[in-house]
Amino acid sequence: MSFLVHLAFFAGWVGSRIAFPSSWVSSSVGIAWFILFLSTALYFAVFSWKRRASPLQGLGYGIVAAIHYPEFLWKLKPRLDLSWEEKKQLLALSPAITHVSRPSSLLCPFCKIEIKHVLVALSGEGIGVRRRPVFCPRCQTRLDCCRFCVFFEPRSGHLLGWGEDLTSGRCTLIKKHQSVDEICSSSVAQKLKEMGWHTLYAGLAIPDSFSPPEECRTFQFDERKTLLERLPCMGKERVLLLRLEEAIYSQPSSSSRSG
């Protein structure tokens, strides 16, 4: 079930309370919801148990599926021991959230074209690129840039939110001695100079977030930054889908194995 189904039942329960003063109608709606919730949770719990989930884990998966099915579909189901066909079916559904034909493809946030076979799942839950640099073939924007990188810190230093300025900042991975004028505001730089500090060992200044420094050797997408540029599904769901895609296309299909 999804939140909309729960909302529909709640609306029906409220409506029945208003339209029919007697309690049996609203009670019937509540009982119907409870039966549907319980049966859905049990179904997906059994589904998970059959795919090597532990008893407690399977029960939790079933409850999540009953509360909000998309959460189960994209974040929990890929972790189960799925068959080759089930993995294939899940990948076929993935364009609904990735907006591209395969999880390894990247959607240019500016001209909205698909760049195929670019993304790769990193260790942990990170997303990187197979090769660098990555340019959009239409608008020539570089997409493996600081602007979308987890190691890039915007100059403002505030928590990321809608409207955050990602134009410039600093790299938290590459550090070197730099002039205080380059990495500090004018007032702070002046005070540091008065104290005898003309350089600081700090994260490399990034004046243009679309142009990575020459020293850059590591890139990983930051889900929050990609959301600011309307890049869909660049978090845990995408990592799991990337691993499914790798598993699917690195082994023969069931039909070829049986042949």
21 pLDDT above the threshold of 70: no
259 pLDDT above the threshold of 60: no
Helix axes 84-93, 236-249, angle to 10 degrees: 130
- At 24 the pLDDT is 55
Q: Quick: pLDDT tens for 248-258.
A: 987 655 444 44
Q: Quick: pLDDT tens for 43-64.
A: 999 999 999 999 999 999 999 9
Q: Quick: pLDDT tens for 6-19.
A: 455 455 545 555 55
CA distances (Å), origin 85, targets 55, 89, 238, 250, 256: 24, 6, 19, 14, 13
**Percent above pLDDT 90 for the chain:** 60
CA–CA gap between residue 56 and residue 170 (Å, rounded): 44
Mean pLDDT score, 37-44? 92
CA–CA gap between residue 209 and residue 212 (Å, rounded): 7
Residues sharing a CB contact under 8 Å with residue 27, sequence separation 6 or more, in sequence order: none
Mean pLDDT score, 55-84? 94
- At 9 the pLDDT is 44
- At 254 the pLDDT is 47
pTM for the model stands at: 0.80
Q: Which of 111-120, 165-174, 179-188 has the weakest average pLDDT?
A: 179-188
Mean pLDDT score, 213-229? 93
CA–CA gap between residue 14 and residue 148 (Å, rounded): 45
Mean pLDDT score, 57-86? 94
- At 142 the pLDDT is 96
242 pLDDT above the threshold of 90: yes
155 pLDDT above the threshold of 90: no
